Structure 1
Amino acid sequence: NTPGNYVIQLTSQNTTSGCTGSYSQNITVEAVPQPSFSANPVINCAPSNVTFNNLSPNGVSYSWDFGDITSANNSSTLNSPSHTYNNNGTYDVTLTMTSVNGCTGSVTIPGLITVIDLVPIFSGTPTGGCDPLTVLFNNPEQTPYPGNPITTWEWSFPGGTPSTWTGQTPPYVEYGVGVYDVSLTLTTQNGCTGTTTLEDYIKVGEILDMGFTVDTTINCIKTDFDFTSFVVTNPSFPDSSEISYYWDFVEGTSNDQNPSYQFTSDTGFFDVQLVIDFRGCKDTVVMQDMVYILAPIANFAPQTTLFCNQNLPVLDNFTDLSTHGETTDDIFMTWEWGDNSPYVSFDDPQLDDSDAGNTSHTFSNYGSYTVQQVIHNYTTGCSDSITNIVNISTVTANFTYSNDSICQGDSLGMYDNSITWMDLPTPHPLVSWEFNMGNNPPGIVNMGDTAYYSYTAPFFGIQNYVITLTATNSVGCSDQATLPISVLPNPFPVLSLNPDPTVGCAPFLVSLTNGSIPFSGIPIDYYTYSYNNQTDTIDYIPYTPPGQNPNTLNLIFYNEGNNFVEMTVVDQFGCTSNSTSNSITITKPFASFSLDNIICNGDSLTTINTSTGAGTLSYQWYTDNPNTSSAVSNTLNAETVYEANNVVFGQTTDVTPIYLIVADSNGCKDTVSNLLSISIPWAVPQFSFSGSAIGPNGEYVCPPLFGSYTDSSFSSTTITNWQWNFGNNISSTLENPSTTFVYPGIYNLSLIVTDANGCTDDSTITGYVTIDGPSGNPDWLQQAGGCVQGAQFFITNAQNISSTVWHMGDNVILNDSINFNYFYDSPGTYTPGVYLYDDTGCEVYYPLDTITIIEDGLTALFTASPNPADQNQLITFTDASSSTQSNIVSWIWDFGTNFVASGSNISQSYSYPNSGPYPVTLTVIDAIGCQDDYTLIVNIKDPEIPIPNVITLNEDNTNELFLLPFDGFLDFEIVIINRWGNTIHKGSKDVINPLLLWDGRVDSTGDLAEDGVYFWHLKGKMLGGTLVDKHGNVTVLESGQ
């Protein structure tokens, strides 16, 4: 159940031979994974797209629960997914992760995601008042979404001026009489919106008139006056809930529309004020001296209202404080005592004396008495009365306790036995009991009639206190009672251990010495010892002062870790000390290590020392029995190379134990061992060849040669990797590969094998195959500072070469060259190669590295003017070439007529006698030998060509044929049609007689055409590219037909 590294050890024994053996294996229990993540945003409006960032370490798979049960996509197995919450609410998010070893752990963050609406909050000041009303509105709210601030505020004030506003704080808005809604729409940076409309928020009214009346203006004290209000508003007849009333009667107030009110405090005149509030618009009316209150007003004061624990009977005096009226008024007063004794009355003459209505009364028993004064003014016709209560009571406090002596810290019980007046009809029960425990500072206990208290403060010697109970009844009468108490201090435990400090290896002997002190002077009765999970109780040990044969107990501790010894002392009164304890630490290191249980011969040991122990640990590593060998390392992890001795061919493994002895800072030791296995693979290659004839010395006469290879390697486990090197710059990782030798040479073979434990072995065979044929090292070189349009091609270390065939990579082939320069026509990437041949006809192809021909900065360019031009018109060719690397030194002009002009002439002039397109090419050469060319088509326009309109077929060899005046067509077609619309001739350009259009004969018969007018249609393309489509008439004369 606890994460950590554990060593599982198996020990076996041969009971016949007595031999034993053991093997241990480290087991690692991984801690439950602790996933961690964050989310953004955590508060937003719907729909809220939340991105979760997985912060968990060392997980291989994850499972998310987004807490959104309304969504079909409530989960994900992505590392850091996202999820869209479409509904308002608070969502718990859970991430469960699985570690590389299959352990799972999860974490849930309650309420991580909150999706809420944007609800604008705003206020206006004031929201009600008289017409016209000016209101200032304010939106103090910040965005509820962190990182998503409010960007727009849209206010709507229907009926107000202005009626709308955009911005956080609008200007003052003015309203007339009416009730108005106000709304605010907010929009955040990420597009969350929300609108709040406060209906009937602004109320504006007008009070046109107001006032009030009363049913009577003169009345007795404590008698109703009925007031009636009226108000006239704009608008008329509003709902009664819109009007509020505030009455002020000097000694009291009311909010009723038409209140009834009694005056109680004085006689004489009173002002009355009314404030009416309609939609926040207020008006006030004050009626001075509106009502008059008539006498009398009853009032008196007893000299004493509580008599406590006095002897009966008791006398109480009463002072008359009433208002009688005018001295001429007829007054009568009565006193009633509440104890069934006769009333006392005063008539008017008595009340005129100096002591007015003062009196006294004697009460003969305990109880609560209601005394009433009643006064009549027969002149005003009014009467009044008032009462006061007089309490006469007794309390006798008394209590008992559980013991008159108590140990420090023990609970003392206290029990009330007090007596109070409990006769009907007015009993006075006890209501509080306060115990003062007499210590300093005083402990006060208010638990009721039964209480408990413990004296816990430390002290030396017996402490004597007086406990005081104060008992109080329901009318406030109280009494006190006291009892003494002795508090005994608990014994003081003293426990000494030897040796000190008590730290060592198991088994560990400790001597315990008891030197406890009885502070109360009462002898110690016995001691209780507890150590680890055992308890020893000694019923009685006589008290021995420290230094005089102290009580001693010897204990042996075996348990590793922090052990304890705890002692409690009890004296003969039963007072028990606090426990005292001492710690005994038993240390034992825990030797533990893991290692790659299988290593390769000659490799270093790879150990992970997980030993634990007290203080600084020391280590000793052994590769043989620690009792008969020396340590190979004293470091935290074994730093040594292990190599098996006397290994013979075919031996694939060796086994040895590895020991670790760990010692802690107290010299305590522990030993552990693990078995180490050494893996020894063997590389054994085999091969055969085909594809070439074998020479007289066993060599192969010409490549290609095909090699087949077979692995015969072996190990204690599976061979998993092969690294073949065939000597021809080709390697392979196949188990049984093949290769092709395409060049002559002498080759070496090497094979490296790796087994499932990662161990390797290698084998090399020198000169295992020889191949004859032509050979060399073909290459190319671009000279620094030269033209980069080409390179020098050459062959070094040429042997047995009789001829060569170079393929330049641009479809150019060159023969029998060993060293030459070659220029490419255009920039680009080319892959050249060469075929080598010897006298026997053996052919070997050598590909060369790719050569890159870059732009050399030389650009040939020119213009021709005019273009197009007429026949024989002089055209000016103007050079516009440029070079960024070096100067242009030569210009070669080819005008497309087999005429070439070369030299240093930058520009040229030239004319063409015939029409047509002519390609003109300029080749420029710079100072480092680079060259470039540019070709421009020059068009020579076609001239107008006249067509004759008469021919004579009289065989005088003059004007016998229908001819063009000159050869200006690339090709043409001619059609001749007679007067009846029949085609009598179709022809095209004759390469022998390019001027002939028609010989005057009918194609179908070969006869000369009759005299007459014929229609012709000519279509063709002239030398300059002009398309011709013409028609006309030609007249035939003297044909003889």
Structure 2
Amino acid sequence: MSSIQQNAAGIVLWSWDFGDSNTTNTVNPSHYYLNPGIYNASLIVTDSSSCSDTINHNITVDSLPNAQFSVSDICLGYSAPVSNLSNGTSGVINAWSWDFGDGSSSSLENPNHIYSNYGIYNISLSVGDDNGCSRDTTMEIVVYPNPIPEFTAPYLCLDDEVNFTDISTIIAPLGETLISWAWDFGNGSSSSDQNPSVLYDTSGSYMVSLTVLDLNGCVDSISNSVIVYDNPIADFEYSESAFNIVEFTDLTLAGSSAMWDASWSFGDNSSATGLTVQHEYNVAEYNSVSYFTICETVVDANLCADEFCRDIEIESYSLWIPNAFSPEGHGGGDETKFLPKGKSLYTYHIKVFDTWGNLIWESKAINPDDGSPLEYWDGRVNGIMMPQDVYVWEVEANYSPVLEWQGKEYNRGKIRKTGTVTLIK
């Protein structure tokens, strides 16, 4: 109740009755009514002569408007779902004042507001009616951050199964765990796996999209253009350039890239890299053909790969000198004669010497079909059997006019063109 101004000259007593059982003797009181209604307020004033007078007024106390609204938590980027539920009781609401807690406000009855940042905000609403009465209320709203979708793909090559990896993240502490993934690979196929695989059967550019959803119901998407490249087609040719040495030349047909690297597996636990390579095969057995599976793997600048394998045969370039024989042994096999074994010899000259350095046997004969030694020493000189002893041999041989036999390998890697043979009786 507003105070009533009175002429205070000579007045010594003020008796107020507010009509709600509350009184006071204050000259200019203030009074708050607890309930709406019409109250008969009276004032009795008394002067120093004990004379008094009374005045009465009806005071109308209007009900306050009911300030009320509903709101629910949202994801960033969406309009705050406020619903104004305010209503007037004694008057008609005709004013609304909103404060969204982020520096934004509105005087609309039912405004729309989109927060520019995630966080926790207090929304306040103050309403006023045509009686001049007002009331306010405040509610909290949580604006959740959206998940941040992201993915990687190591490489995309035609007819290769490509593994897409989800690396999406959330923003703590308001962000919640991701619960679903929706992939569109741009080729008519899709997946709900977190880390899916897809096989592209046509090269070209594809728009791949990923949509992720978290426990708060917040969702976001990302789209990236990916290129599926054609694979190279591996191929090679080879030629035997020298003694057990083979040269391999890459003949790969380019895919989407004109640049690639080649790695080789030679089938004998050895390897090399390069577009043109040489490899020397160690074929230990004389008079034999060895088969090897050669594989070339090419990887181009787009990391697309192909492999091509083929079998090749390598004829032995070798010369083996026996270290003992028994001319008088039984059976008549190779153990009864001193017969060097070899293949692909171009020239050949072997000599055998006795203890005193006398030449007692020699041969230059080789088989024109396969280059193998033809003649052997039977342990005799001029028809007479030599005594049991250790004899010295010496060999000069070539596999071609420029490719010389290097000699026999002994302990600790020593190679010599001389050696000994024991004649056993």
TM-score (norm 2): 0.50
State the TM-score, normalized to the length of structure 1: 0.23
Structure with higher strand content? 1
Q: Which has the higher contact order (CA 8 A, sep 6+)?
A: 2
Pick the structure with greater CA Rg. Answer: 1
